[in-house]
Amino acid sequence: MTRDEAFFEFLCRMGDNTLVLGHRVSEWCGHAPVLEEDIALANTALDLIGQTQMWLGLAAEIEGDGRSADDLAMLRDAWDFRNVLLAEQPNGDFGQTMMRQYLFDQYHLLMLQALAGSSDERVAGIAAKSVKEVAYHVERSRDTVVGLGDGTSESHRRMQAALDLLYPYVGEMFESDAVDAAMEEAGIAPDPASLRDAYDAALTQTMAEATLTLPDSRFAHSGGRTGFRHTEHLGHMLTQMQWLQRAYPGATW
């Protein structure tokens, strides 16, 4: 694998994470519990899709095959996506959505903070812009997890169920492979594993405040970052997300 091939893979991982999660969050538009949450979720989705455009735009530039960010988003099949499995998990109820959001946001913030010091000025620029948005995402999702976890008996039960369901997807975000090694050697991105201790410390504090119990097992589902294995949920999501471009190739506004 050449440096540019590894760089392309890394950029797709960043862009696919925000694309898939952004689409998932957008599914709440018009369906959230209250108007304020509807607006907040829509804004979060817009932030993530905006970040996707930057990451996949740079990926297309590095690839040099004439594809655009739109092509990468709308014309790849499920096995070509490089998002972590956590991002593609269904929304479930509101509590499950916010637990998924927090578990990803906390990792996302740490990664972007590290990328702001990247040796590649383009990566550093995207990270510096995105980190401002994601700092707010973390604040909001964390506060919601704490509020619902330490709320009523029903909200506590639902948040514990959401944590138990989603925690096995956390470990994949910190896996390292040849792509990560190449990016670390070039000074472009950190080894994801190096972020785990800070993540665990923040997660432990948040769950303590939320009166939620972290599962004992460190078992982690994996395969999304390499495209080796995605859940069935991604394919169903892509049939909706990519329908227009698939049905009317080359359609523009």
Decide: 188 and 118 in contact? Cβ < 8 Å. Answer: yes
Name the pTM for this structure.
Answer: 0.97
Return all residues near 218 (Cβ < 8 A) that are at least 6 apart.
171
CA distances from 52 to 27, 46, 225 (A): 17, 10, 16
CA distance 14 to 24: 16
pLDDT tens digits, the chain, 253 residues: what are they?
899 999 999 999 999 999 999 999 999 999 999 999 999 999 999 999 999 999 999 999 999 999 999 999 999 999 999 999 999 999 999 999 999 999 999 999 999 999 999 999 999 999 999 999 999 999 999 999 999 999 999 999 999 999 999 999 999 999 999 999 999 999 999 999 999 999 999 999 999 999 999 999 989 999 999 999 999 999 999 999 999 999 999 888 7
CA distance 5 to 7: 5
Domains of the chain listed by start with CATH number: 3-247 (1.20.1260.10)
Nearest CA-CA partner of 10 in 197, 249, 178: 178
105, 109, 112, 116 alpha-carbon torsion, rounded to 10°: 160
Return all residues near 5 (Cβ < 8 A) that are at least 6 apart.
none
CA distance 119 to 84: 24
